[in-house]
Amino acid sequence: MIRPADDLRPRQEELVALLHRLTHEEGVRPTIIEGLFVVRCNQPTPPMPGIYQPSLCVIAQGRKEIRVGDATFLYDSLHYLVASVTLPVAGQVIEASPERPYLSMRLDFAPAQISRLIAEAGPFAVDGEGSECGLTITRLDAALLDALIRLVGLLETPQDIPFLAPMIQREILYRVMNGPQGRILQAIAAADSQDHRIARAIEWLNENFHRPLRIEELARTVNLSPSTLHHRFKAVTALSPLQYQKQLRLQEARRLMVTEGLEAAAASYRVGYESPSQFSREYSRLFGAPPLRDLGRLRPSVRNILTR
C-alpha cells in the first residue's frame, strides 16, 4: 500500500534539514561515505549533459528533468530515480531558489553489489512487465526514505560510518531491488542474459569511445547478433550504439576543455574525432552552442558540477 504524501512529509523535512546542514555551496559534493554524494542548486539550471553511473538519486527539495535520447523523465521529492547502467543524459534543475534550494543525494552502486545481493537473498520476485529502460522513476516509499535518512545522517556521526554504512547501503539496494526497477537490475546481473551482454557493450564503449566503432566487432565481443545488439541496446539506453558513443565523446571533450583548458581542436582529437569542423557541428547540436561560446556561458556552479 502506498502511503499518502502527507505521511512522508515529516521524514522528507528531516532529509531536507540534513542536506541543508551538509551543503553550503552549490554543486555536487562527494562525502566520506563511499559512493554517496550530496547536491545543492540555488536556482534553476540550463540542460546540462552528463554521464549517470549506476546509481540511486533522491530529491529532498525541488524538481528535475532528465532527458535520455528522445525520452524525458520528470521527478521530485515524491519519487526516486535509478540508473541501472551508465547513461549519457541531459539533466536540468527546474525548481530551485535561494530560499528553497534544490537539494538531493546520489548513491552510486556497482553491478557486483547487485550480484552479491542476489546470491545472498535469492532471486527477487519482480514484475515481468517492468521497464526495459536503464533509467526508471519510482514513487518513494517510507521504508526506503527511512534507510536513506539513516545513511545521510551518518555523516554527522562519522565514527559510526565504518560499521553502519555498509549495512544501510545493503538495505537500500535490497529495497530498490524489490521495486519496479528490480527486473532490469536482476536481468543485467544474470550472466547469461541479453541485458547483461548489453551492459558489457556499454562498459566496452565507455572504455573505448575514442576508437572507431564497428558494430559487427562489438556484437562479436558481447556474443550477440548485430541486429539484437542494436535492438536491445536502444531499449536499455534509448540510444543506438553510435549515438551513445558520440555523446560520450562530446561530453568527455567538454570536460577536457573545462578542467584541463584544452582548445577545441585538441579536445576533439583526444576523444577520437578526425575533423574539427564535424566536432564543432556535433558539439553545437548537443550543447546548443559551439565550444568557445558554450564554455564562456557556463556559470561557476555549473562548472563545478561538470568537474565532478
**Cross-strand pairs, 65:** 74, 92
Domain count for the chain: 2
Per-residue pLDDT of the chain (308 residues; tens, 9 = 90+): 344 455 888 999 999 999 999 998 999 999 999 999 999 999 999 888 889 999 999 999 999 999 998 889 999 999 999 999 999 999 999 999 999 999 999 999 998 898 899 888 877 766 555 567 899 999 999 999 999 999 999 999 999 999 999 999 999 999 999 888 888 888 888 877 899 999 999 999 999 999 999 999 999 999 999 999 999 999 999 999 999 999 999 999 998 998 888 999 999 999 999 999 999 999 999 888 999 998 887 755 454 554 43
Query: 187, 207, 229 — which closes off a domain?
Result: 187
Residue 273 and residue 238: Cα distance in Å, rounded? 23
pTM summary value = 0.87
Residue 170 and residue 65: Cα distance in Å, rounded? 28
Q: Are residues 35 and 77 in the same domain?
A: yes
Q: Are residues 27 and 171 in the same domain?
A: yes
> 132: which residues sit within 8 A by CB, 6+ positions away?
184, 235, 236
Q: Are residues 21 and 136 in the same domain?
A: yes
246, three cell numbers: 558520440
Cβ atoms within 10 Å of 228's Cβ, excluding its own = 15
Q: Are residues 129 and 223 in the same domain?
A: no
Q: Are residues 165 and 22 in the same domain?
A: yes
Q: Are residues 250 and 216 in the same domain?
A: yes
Query: 187, 218, 244 — which closes off a domain?
Result: 187
Domain boundaries, position 35 = 5-187
